[in-house]
């Protein structure tokens, strides 16, 4: 079964970034989308620290860590003001989008629904071509997450090299121009 394009995310606000992030902008990068709730114990104990370690260990690689605050319970307790304080206190520095509320009183927010997430934390891996490659609900073993990221980064380098080749073949480099196939 071939991987499908990852659904676009739908958000109402972003923290830790001057501009809202769109998935399409991240083409060419492996994306770790970390969906969490600030009052979810498993997110606080495992998921968020893991996402932070990924962001730090793979700094310099074509990899983006993106948070998604996707609240499906205790809505009043986890508003943007509380989230902002939470991110500050936990030293979370990667961009975090706030999942848009579900339509017509659906308690499940839009992006959570679009990805059919079972709950939080959920780690979602999207390849450099924007395709959904892995979705893990609950604790995600570091070795397995690392293996997945390592494999996707190899693919990203190869497809980027192929893209450069294709571009070279079709387009102009410093000393020559080639017509397309």
Nearer to a second copy, 85 or 116 (CB): 85
**With respect to a second copy, which residue has the nearer C-beta, 114 or 155?**
155
Give least dist CB 141 to a second copy, A: 7
Based on CB atoms, which residue is closest to a second copy, 25 or 74? 74
Q: How far apart are the first and last CA of the chain?
A: 29
Angle, helices 142-170/48-57, rounded to nearest 10 degrees: 40
Q: Whose Cβ is closer to a second copy: residue 39's or residue 114's?
A: 39
SS (H, E, C) the chain: CCCCECCCCCEEEEECCCCCCCHHHHCCCEEEEEEECCCCHHHHHHHHHHHHHHHHHCCCCCEEEEEEECCCCCHHHHCHHHHHHHHHHCCCCCCEEEECCCHHHCCCCHHHHHCCCCCCCEEEEECCCCEEEEEEECCCCHHHHHHHHHHHHHHHHHHHHHHHHHHHHHCEECCEECCCC
Binding site for a second copy (CB under 8 A): 39-41, 44-45, 50, 53-54, 57-58, 73-74, 76-78, 81-82, 84-86, 88-90, 141-155
The distance of closest approach from Cβ of residue 61 to a second copy in the complex, given in angstroms and rounded to an integer, is 9
Kindly state the smallest distance separating residue 71's Cβ from a second copy, in Å.
10
Least distance CB 34 / a second copy (angstroms): 14
Q: How far is the CB of 174 from a second copy (least distance, A)?
A: 27
With respect to a second copy, which residue has the nearer C-beta, 63 or 112? Answer: 63
């Amino acid at each position: 079964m071939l991987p499908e394009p990852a659904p676009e995310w739908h958000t109402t606000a972003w923290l830790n970034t001057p501009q809202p992030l769109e998935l399409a902008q991240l083409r060419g990068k492996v994306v770790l989308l970390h969906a969490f709730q600030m009052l979810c114990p498993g997110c606080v104990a495992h998921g968020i620290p893991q996402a932070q370690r990924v962001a730090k260990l793979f700094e310099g690689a074509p990899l983006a860590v993106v948070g998604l605050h996707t609240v499906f319970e205790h809505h009043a307790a986890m508003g943007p003001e509380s989230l902002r304080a939470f991110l500050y206190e936990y030293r979370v520095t990667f961009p975090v989008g706030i999942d848009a509320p579900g339509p017509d009183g659906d308690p499940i927010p839009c992006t959570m629904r679009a990805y059919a997430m079972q709950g939080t934390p959920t780690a979602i891996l999207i390849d450099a071509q924007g395709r959904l490659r892995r979705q893990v609900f609950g604790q995600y073993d570091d070795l397995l997450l690392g293996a997945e990221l390592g494999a996707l980064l190899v693919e990203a380098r190869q497809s980027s090299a192929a893209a450069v080749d294709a571009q070279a073949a079709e387009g102009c480099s410093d000393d020559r121009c080639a017509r397309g196939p």
